[in-house]
Amino acid sequence: MLRFFKTTPPTALLGLFIILSVAIMGVFAPFLAPYGETEVVGAAYMPWDSVHLLGTDNLGRDMLSRVIYGARNTVGLALLTTAIAFTVGATLGIYAALKGGWVDQVVSRAVDVLMAVPPLILALMLLAIVGPSIPNMVLVIAVIYVAPVFRLARASSMNIVVLDFVQAARLRGEGNLWLISREILPNITSTLVAEFGLRFCFVFLFIAALSFLGLGIQPPTADWGSMVKENATLITFGDITPLIPAAAIAVLTIGINFVVDWMLHKASGLKD
Amino acid sequence: MIEKLKQDLATGTISRRTFMAGALAMGATVSSASLLVGEAHAIAPQKGGTLRIGFTQGSTSDTFDPATFNNDFMLATGYAVFNTLVELAPDGSGQPDLAESYEASADAKTWTFRLRDEATFSDGKKVTAADVIASIRHHLGENSKSAAKPLLKSIEDIKADGDNTVVFTLTEGNADFPLIFNDYHLGIRPAQADGTIDPDTMIGTGGYVVESFEAGVRAVLKRRDDYWKKGRAHIDRVEILTIADPAARMNALLTGEVDLIDRPDLKTVHMLKRNPNVKLHTQDGTLHYVMPMHSDTAPFDDNNVRLALKNAINRQEFVDKVLKGYGKVGNDQPIASSMQFYNDQLAPRAFDPEKAKYHLKQAGLDTLNVKLHTAENAFGGAVDASLLFSETAKAAGINIEVVREPADGYWSNVWLKKPFCTSYWGGRPTADLMFTTAYAAGADWNESRFNHERFNELLVKARAELDTETRRNMYFEMQQIVSDEGSTIIPAFGQYVSAMTKRVHMPEKVTQLWDLDGMRFIERWWVS
Amino acid sequence: MSGIQKLVLRRIGLGIVTLFIVSLLIFIGVELLPSDLAQEILGQAATPETVAAFRRELGLDQPAVIRYLEWVAGVFQGDFGVSLANRRDVAELVAPRLKNTMFLAGYAAAIAVPVAVTLGILAALFRNSIFDRLANVFALSSISLPEFFVAYVLILLFAVNIPLFPSLARIDDATPFIEALYRTFLPALTLILVVIAHMMRMTRAAIINVLAEPYIEMARLKGVPRYKVILRHALPNALPPIINVVAINLAYLIVGVVVVEVVFVYPGLGQLLVDAVAKRDFPVVQAVGLFFAATYISLNILADVLSILSNPRLRAKA
């Protein structure tokens, strides 16, 4: 344990600390938040004081409580979305690389089509068709993110499947599932993890952009992206309320990427 | 009398000399008369200048076809470029515009409009009866897609009587018929040889001509020097922009990119007000928010259930939280306090869960479970309003399940179709039009499927009645009926809010229908 | 070189097939959207009669298959049809906005790409220094803020507090070039901040990745100075991923900037597309959607070709 702290760079430790704190905040939100997520506790835009540490928002809801609940909703949603996109995208990508031939062609061309349509427009149309509920939003964004994950997974696996140990396993008669999970996946994990870190952060931004266009997470659910949007007009008057959720997103993004950088560095084998 | 003179001087109807003469004749001394001039001139219209407007609405799909005018951008542009036969004056009465005068037959079934001799289109052509007929016909007939079609339903026949006179024959008497022509769809365009209008034409009789128009982006209007209407169209050049984002709109006003914006973000309007160069304009209007219940569908077919729901909504909370204080509580009837024939004697309906419970009991119920359908575009804050209603109604043993519908297709698939939903009305200029549009049995937009024998009878009678006092009594009774037995909850009337720099000026009194002086501000207001 | 030519031709062929499938998907998508143009334009004022009349006028009463085939037939003759909403020629409607979109994208790219690549190289050169760490944190925070937030902050700083630039980016055909650069400075800066981080991080990562290769060790052991190792030996071999990330960001600058367009009221294609989707104006959605798809596909082909040309090993394989 002590060795871990000694050998890990301070940025990565900071990153891990941030991720852990946000995770705890999300999981234990109902115990940590002084007020309810949607509870109206006072007048609108009350300044910071000892009762409402971060003041209140446009409807008089406690800002601190909403930031805490926001961690749960935002991170939960982003995690779910990215997890779906990676499970589907990576499996398909590795499978396509492994199989090659027409399977690879069909899936790759389908992904080309999916990627050629601008994501925001794809999201707008899909959400208009299925309706902007939270499960739908998770699925739509996941579908959009399957494409880049597939390409990355396929490209990295291509380099692995030609290697001797995979060929050997194939000759041994191992099944596809075994090949994917035991032979290929471990060798492309670091690439996928790096991508996971970035994609994960992009989900918040994507949701924020959608709520800017009126299709994001609907009120009164607290989510950091929408909270920035809801209070954005205050920026002009020098009020920093919208900075809090924006800063929360920024800190989490930086934390995650510190950890990702560290993992990449370890994987690259470069000693500096 | 002096007040009237001041007003005339301010609006440019009389010259300074006439004002002095009039004021002196009324016994004012020369020096005090001059003082009065100074005071009146603080608001006196000035010629010239540029007005730049930032509107929330406006879409790349906008066209000049009056049949599809549907947003503020096109309303304001339309009123600046085209004239209507009649315009709505600030006091709520009709005032001749392109028509010089109009009169009804004794049964109010035949209406004769005489056109102005001096009115010309911007291409120099004189306005004739044929132009008026072609422009109105554009909204009639089987192939018309016009939103104004239901408004003109009662027209049986339009005829020209010479070049200057148009005669309308109606299926039934209508004392308010001229006021229909204030509608923004009904601007007069030049007729073509085949008796139709070119829907895309930009040639109008208004005080402004279109210099450039890019749908959903901007329109530039230039004053017509030969405008026939005196004392109007003061500003030289008008630029209208679509700025959909509230923060961008506010920034544009603060940085001086525009002079006037509509719908400032109500959350921050109190901070906007602190800027010394900015003034806020609020306008009571006819805008109101409604929650119609289908009166022919259980459980809403029982008036006790409707009354229970009417008592279970907290109207003040609606005004405070949904409208951020920019509004007034409503009384379940759609006639605004600024309108002629507004019934000021109706007792306001307070939030009273006990009374709601009483009505439930009368209906033979202990609890009530209903679904309220809503969407973000039903009106701004509709979902919040529905959630608040659902919270307060619990105290009366009423469970309202709020069903959030998709915004797309809300007006086609939910409104008029679901038995209990949220909606709004921008309002109509007269009590008759409001009732006829949304409360008359069989009307296209009778959203509550209201069908009340006495009400229907009064509506037809009052429409044809030319005696004001008798009409007033009838409309008072109708408001009472709708409030007590109607099937629509009307929690509040909204106020229009706009913000502008201090160089924008307006007459002391403005028209209360819709926003910005009945959307006719471009030709009525001025800049310094 | 014929290998590359063959590759390019094959990719273009595939691209055209992709575009065709995209057009079919867009059509199906627009058909699946609830409500149609008649209902969207008439809104609350719609009655069954007027909606029916409107649909007849637009030809929306025709079966969907026939409408799509008619549209395809038109496209093969170079005619993208007319907008359902205003009966204007789609090409004429799209052209000025296309120009605006390309102008803003070009403006932002002209600054962002060189700056990002330079910063990336410097960060790799001085990796783990204070400079590297600061650049990294700055880059991460700028991608982690929503675009509209960055835009509002820039407006507050440079238009409201210090009135240097206009808060609205209004330009038209008559605007002189220099003036247009001035008026669109804030939206361009917003976009620059949004795309710079991704390119910079990728440049740094690509170069550092190559640094572990034996030939770099070799060069270093020979005593070649550090900056020369990076510029002469590492950079050329790290070019393919850099070119790829630049291509992705260029595509983003063209197809993904609707939010910035809205905040600065800039009449670009994104806003047109969002409006057209909202109103179900199918020919406009198709034209803009296909242009975006074509942009993406061609930038991808270009990036792949450049990667191959830039890298001796890949060149040999092709």
Q: Calculate how close chain A gets to C4, using CA atoms only, in Å.
A: 20
- Is pLDDT at B262 greater than 80 in this prediction? yes
Task: With a cut of 60, say whether residue A269 has pLDDT above it.
Answer: no
Distance CA(B38)–CA(B40), nearest Å, equals 5
Determine phi and psi for B500, rounding to 5 degrees.
Answer: -150, 165
Q: What residues does B155 pair with on adjacent strands?
A: B170
Domain ranges of chain B: 2-43, 50-56+206-284+496-527, 83-186, 288-494
C44/C138 same-domain check: no
My answer on whether C231 and C164 are in the same domain is yes
**Are residues C250 and C186 part of one domain?**
yes
A195-212 in b/e form (b: 16+ CB < 10 A) is bbbbbbbbbbbbbbbbbb
CA angle B8, B12, B17 (to 5 degrees): 80
**Domain limits at A236?**
54-268
Subunits in contact with chain A (3 or more CB pairs closer than 8 Å): B, C
Q: Please state the domain count of chain C.
A: 2
- Angle among Cα B453, B456, B458 to the nearest 5 degrees reads 105
Mean pLDDT of B372-386: 81
The model's pLDDT over A171-200, given as tens digits with 9 standing for 90+, comes to 787 777 777 777 777 777 777 877 787 788
User: Distance, in angstroms, between A59 CA and closest chain B CA?
Assistant: 7
| Owner of token pair 């990153």 | A15
Give Cβ neighbours of residue C1 (< 8 Å, ≥ 6 apart): none
- For residue A44, the chain B residue with the least C-alpha distance is B267
Residues of chain A positioned with their CB less than 8 A from the CB of B384: 59, 219-220
Query: For position B4, what pLDDT does the model report?
Result: 46
Phi, psi of C137 (to 5 degrees): -65, -40
What is residue C259's three-state secondary structure?
helix
In angstroms, the CA C209 to CA C203 distance is: 10
Smallest Cβ–Cβ distance between B247 and the set A45, A59, A236 belongs to: A236
Q: How sure is the predictor about B6, in pLDDT bands with cuts at 50, 70 and 90?
A: very low
Separation between Cα atoms, residue B267 and residue B264, nearest integer Å? 9
Contacts of C279 in chain B (CB under 8 A): 59, 61
| pLDDT at residue number B36 | 39
Q: What is the pLDDT of residue A268?
A: 61
pLDDT at A135 over 80: yes
A233 vs B250, B321, B408: nearest CB: B250
pLDDT in tens, B142-197: 778 787 887 888 888 888 888 888 898 888 888 888 888 888 888 899 988 888 88
DSSP assignment string, C69-110? HHHHHHHHTT---B-TTT--BHHHHHHHHHHHHHHHHHHHHH
Identify the band that residue B416 occupies on the pLDDT scale cut at 50, 70 and 90. Answer: confident
Q: Which of B56, B267, B388, B408 to mutate to test the interface with A (most CBs of A within 10 A)?
A: B267
Say whether both C137 and C32 belong to one domain.
no
Kindly state whether residues C121 and C194 are assigned to the same domain.
Answer: yes
For residue A46, is it within any domain? Answer: no
> How many domains is chain A partitioned into structurally?
1
pLDDT score, position A58: 64
Write out pLDDT tens, residues B90-101.
887 888 888 888
Question: Can you tell me whether residue B211 is helix, strand or coil?
Answer: strand
Do residues C9 and C152 both lie within one domain? no
State which of C42, C76, C110 marks the end of a domain: C76
User: How far is the C-alpha of B366 from the C-alpha of A141, rounded, in Å?
Assistant: 45
Domain that holds residue C108: 96-317
Confirm or reject contact between A234 and chain B (CB < 8 A): yes
In this model, does residue C111 exceed pLDDT 90?
A: yes
**How many contacts, defined by CB atoms under 8 Å, are there between A and B?**
38
Residues of chain C numbered 54-83 and touching chain B (CB < 8 Å): 54, 56-57, 83
Does the CB of B271 have a partner CB in chain A at under 8 Å?
Answer: yes
- CATH architecture of the region B288-494: Roll (3.10)
Mean pLDDT of B449-469: 85
Q: How far apart are CA C98 and CA C46, in angstroms?
A: 33
Mean pLDDT of A241-247: 79
Cβ separation of A254 and C262 shorter than 8 Å? no
Nearest to A128 among C33, C149, C292 (CB): C33
Judge: A233–B406 Cβ closer than 8 Å, yes or no: no
Nearest to B90 by CA among B513, B510, B524, B519: B510
Predicted confidence at residue B81, as pLDDT, reads: 93
Q: Where are the beta strands (DSSP E) in chain C?
A: none
Question: Is the CB of residue C244 less than 8 Å from the CB of residue C132?
Answer: no
Candidates C39, C148, C267; nearest CB to B217: C267
Residue to substitute from A105, A106, A120, A121, interface C, most C β-carbons within 10 A: A121
Average pLDDT over every residue of B465-482: 86
Other CB atoms within 10 Å distance of the CB of residue C268: 26
The answer as to whether A6 is a domain residue is no
pLDDT in tens, C247-306: 888 888 888 788 888 889 888 888 888 888 888 888 888 888 888 888 888 888 888 888
The string over B171-204, giving b where at least 16 C-beta atoms fall within 10 Å of a residue's C-beta and e elsewhere, is eebbbbbbbbbbbbbbbbbbbeeeeebeeebbbb
**What integer pLDDT is reported at residue A165 of this predicted model?**
79
Enter the ipTM.
0.80
Question: Are residues C66 and C109 located together in one domain of the fold?
Answer: no
Most B CBs within 10 Å, among C33, C41, C288, to test the B interface? C41
The structure tokens listed for B160 are 């020209």
Q: Tell me, what's the pLDDT at C317?
A: 53
Pair C55, C164 in one domain = no
Q: pLDDT at position A44, please?
A: 66
- B83-186: CATH topology is Dipeptide-binding Protein; domain 1 (3.90.76)
Q: Are C142 and C196 in contact (CB under 8 A)?
A: yes
How much is the pLDDT for C176? 85
pLDDT at C210 over 80: no
Does residue A33 have a pLDDT over 80? no
CB pairs under 8 A between B and C: 129
Interface test with C, best of B53, B60, B416 (most C CBs within 10 A): B60
Inform me whether the pLDDT recorded for A57 exceeds 80. no
Nearest-by-Cβ selection for B254 from A58, A128, A236: A236
C25-77 pLDDT per residue, tens: 888 888 787 777 777 777 767 777 777 777 887 777 778 888 888 888 888 88
Same domain, C253 and C313: yes
- Are residues B324 and B454 in contact, defined by beta-carbon separation less than 8 angstroms? no
Take residue A167 and report the two structure tokens written for it.
Answer: 């060929």
Share of chain B above pLDDT 90, in %: 9
| Distance between B309 CA and the closest CA of chain C, angstroms | 25
CATH number at residue A110: 1.10.3720.10
Q: Tell me: the pLDDT tens digits for B59-109?
A: 888 888 888 888 888 999 999 999 998 888 888 788 888 888 888 888 888
Q: Among B155, B146, B144, B149, which residue's Cα sits nearest to residue B177?
A: B155
Give the C-alpha separation, B527 to B239, whole Å: 13
Residue C90 lies in a domain: no
- CA nearest to C213 within chain A: A270
Shared-domain flag, residues C292 and C217: yes
Whether C216 is in a domain gets the answer: yes
Rounded average pLDDT over B481-503: 89
Buried b / exposed e over A92-117, threshold 16 CB at 10 Å, is bbbbbbbeeeeebeebbeebbbbbbb
Mind telling me how many Å the CA of A189 is from chain B's nearest CA?
Answer: 40
CATH (residue range B50-56+206-284+496-527): 3.40.190.10
For the four alpha carbons of B333, B339, B344 and B349, in that order, the dihedral sign comes to positive
C103 and C64 together in one domain? no
pLDDT at residue B221 in the model: 93
- Chain A closest CA to B248's CA: distance in Å? 8
Residue B328 DSSP label: E
Q: Could you tell me if B387 lies within 8 Å of chain A, comparing CB atoms?
A: yes
> Is A123 part of a structural domain of the chain?
yes
Chain C residues near residue B140 by CB distance under 8 angstroms: none
- Interchain proximity C57–B143, CB inside 8 Å: yes
CB of A249 less than 8 A from some CB of C: yes
Give the mean pLDDT of chain C. Answer: 83
Chains contacting C (3+ CB pairs below 8 angstroms): A, B
pLDDT category, C189, cuts 50, 70, 90?
very high
- Give dist(CA A185, CA A189) in Å, integer: 6
Whether the CB of A213 is below 8 Å from some CB of chain B: the reply is no
Contact B412 C41 (CB under 8 A): no
pLDDT in tens, A64-120: 888 888 888 888 888 889 999 989 998 888 888 887 788 888 888 888 888 888 887
For residues C119 and C35, state if they share a domain: no
